[in-house]
Amino acid sequence: MTKDIETAEQRGGEFSAKDYHDPPPAPLIDAEELTKWSFYRAVIAEFIATLLFLYVTVLTVIGYKVQTDPAKNTVDPDCGGVGILGIAWAFGGMIFILVYCTAGISGGHINPAVTFGLFVGRKVSLIRALMYMVAQCLGAICGCGLVKAFQKTYYNNYGGGANELQPGFNKGTGLGAEIIGTFVLVYTVFAATDPKRNARDSHVPVLAPLPIGFAVFMVHLATIPVTGTGINPARSFGAAVIYNKEKAWDDQWIFWVGPFIGAAAAAFYHQYILRAAAIKALGSFRSNA
């Protein structure tokens, strides 16, 4: 904190403020947002982005399963299709693209867990958070619906891209994997968009969507063998709605509870420990007293 504002003596008797500005906390309920076109434009952007995200990624997952099905024999036996690495690239790459495209409109959340984490960190209002989550879930349903419309037989025969706990793992392990994976993602989101970091490291060009996309990529590499990797409740919900099989619904709670816990933990860690928001608030209270 001592580096944020230098004293007048340190600046030769001339006061100079810190070179970055923390935006004020978002109001809990901001009814005025409902009167602005920019708000509805942002909601639409979240819907379309999540639709495109599910369309491309679920098609990739199903295509990989078709390619590696011995009965189909569509590829050389020595070639395993895109593999887990390719699936991880599809998810991480699409997040990079879509966050880049929508960040200036909606913030590029494309994930209810990210929205929830930013709400906990007081970056978005409750109204915006709820509307974003609804738009993301509807977009995910429509994206998976398009996949099924184009490849109904493959969609039904190869799992519909639905997230399910993989054989050999218990529900506690799956929940833990989702918590940690979402923590990595949401922590990256906070770090990549931190105004203090952008000001301090302004000599290093930082493209925020890039580390966020890489976080998604790395988490998928680690978590696909455990849960198929959710870390995005809308992604898991949309696939479960369209696929609509018992196993996908039985495990669905893991892909909501885990990401929300991980997102809340990441928001608390970044805002109240790394950025010392609690200490700053206490210092401000003492100064006023």
Dihedral sign from CA coordinates of 21, 22, 27, 32: positive
In a domain, 127, yes or no: yes
Total domains present in the chain: 1
More confident residue, 289 or 35: 35
Residues spanned by the domain of 205: 32-278
In a domain, 41, yes or no: yes
Mean pLDDT for 111-124 is: 95
- How distant, in Å, are the alpha carbons of 61, 79, 166, 181, 232 from that of 115? 25, 39, 27, 16, 10
Q: Residue 40 belongs to what H/E stretch?
A: helix 37-67
Burial 70-109 (b: 16+ CB within 10 A, else e): eeeeeeeeeeebbeeebbbbbbbbbbbbbbbebbeebbbb
How far is residue 28's CA from residue 127's CA, in Å, rounded to a whole number?
Answer: 8
Mind listing the pLDDT tens digit for each residue in 26-50? 778 888 888 899 999 999 999 999 9
**Local confidence band at 195 (pLDDT 50, 70, 90 cut-offs):** confident
60-111 pLDDT, tens digit each: 999 888 888 777 655 555 556 778 899 999 999 999 999 999 999 999 999 9
Taking the model in full, what pTM does it have? Answer: 0.85
Q: What pLDDT score was predicted for residue 6?
A: 37
Domain with residue 213: its CATH number is: 1.20.1080.10
Residue 247 lies in a domain: yes
126 located within any domain: yes
Dist CA 263 CA 244 (whole Å): 27
Which pLDDT score, from 0 to 100, does residue 284 have? 47
Q: Is residue 5 part of a domain?
A: no
Is residue 162 within 8 A of residue 61, CB to CB? The reply is no
Whether residue 203 lies inside any domain: the answer is yes
Residue 50 maps to a domain: yes
In eight-state DSSP terms, residue 160 is G
- Residue 21 in domain: no
